[in-house]
Amino acid sequence: MHSGRFAILAGVICWLAVLAVGCRPSAKPGEDQDSSLSATDASALGDLLTDDTGKFAYRMPAGWSSVKIPGNSFKVAVEAEQSGYRANIQVSREAVPRRFDLFVEESRKSLLKLQSGAMIREDSAFTTSAGVEGRRWIVNVFQNGERLWQAYYLVPGPNDDKLIVTMTARTDQELHLTYVSDICMKTLVVR
């Protein structure tokens, strides 16, 4: 009788630990996450991008590469240049000692204040293949006189860490890259 209670308690503790860490204990960056994707979705994925500290990883869009840009904390995923522009995915990691929902609301206010003419067109929940629940925004912004499309993914990490993953592209790439960015973020693992 006690061993049954212990097994249930151990299972609950394990599940809570998984939720706190933000990924399955067996998940390795770029592995297992792809198994839940369809063959069509998986074909949109390219190489694995892992940050230098091993704190997160995700599969980039097919044909993209990663580059280190001075001033950025993490590598940036970029597509080949098209008409003088390179769509990109950038990650920022913040240690924010507050609940995730408050972080999301503060980030929303900050985005709308700092990005002139920014408009959040979509706001929805999303879940990675590893079971991490986050927030996704589709945003139109103006930068350097050009209207751009952005997909923001806000994700809780371990301890007080929060990730903001941003894909930026020209608006003529929006339809395709909305689909591709969602697939890439399904593969996101945060450690």
Residue showing tokens 């929805």: 124
pLDDT tens string 94-126: 999 999 999 999 999 999 999 878 999 999 999
Looking at CATH, the fold of the domain delimited by 2-190 is given as Protein Transport Mog1p; Chain A (3.40.1000)
What is the rounded distance in angstroms from the CA atom of residue 19 to the CA atom of residue 29?
Answer: 16
DSSP-derived letter for residue 173 is G
What pLDDT band is residue 65 in, cutting at 50, 70 and 90? very high
- pLDDT, greater one: 12 or 32: 32
What pLDDT is recorded for position 52?
Answer: 87
What pLDDT band is residue 27 in, cutting at 50, 70 and 90? very low
Reply yes or no on whether the pLDDT at 9 is more than 70.
Answer: no
- The arithmetic mean of pLDDT across residues 55-82, rounded, is 93
Residue showing tokens 């020209």: 170
What is the rounded distance in angstroms from the CA atom of residue 47 to the CA atom of residue 130?
Answer: 18
Reply yes or no on whether the pLDDT at 26 is more than 70.
Answer: no
Q: What percent of the chain has pLDDT over 90?
A: 59
What pLDDT is recorded for position 151?
Answer: 97
What pLDDT is recorded for position 5?
Answer: 31
Three-state secondary structure string covering 66-129: EECCCCCCCCEEECCCECCECCEEEEEEEECCCCHHHHHHHHHHHHHHHCCCCEEEEEEEEECC
Q: What percent of the chain has pLDDT over 70?
A: 81
Cα angle 26-29-34, degrees, rounded to a multiple of 5: 85
- Token pair of 178, please? 């909305």
- pLDDT, greater one: 29 or 167: 167
pTM exceeds 0.85:
no
What is the rounded distance in angstroms from the CA atom of residue 16 to the CA atom of residue 51?
Answer: 26
What pLDDT band is residue 7 in, cutting at 50, 70 and 90? very low
Handedness of CA 71, 189, 115, 99 (dihedral sign): negative
Reply yes or no on whether the pLDDT at 161 is more than 60.
Answer: yes
What pLDDT is recorded for position 60?
Answer: 97
What pLDDT band is residue 35 in, cutting at 50, 70 and 90? low
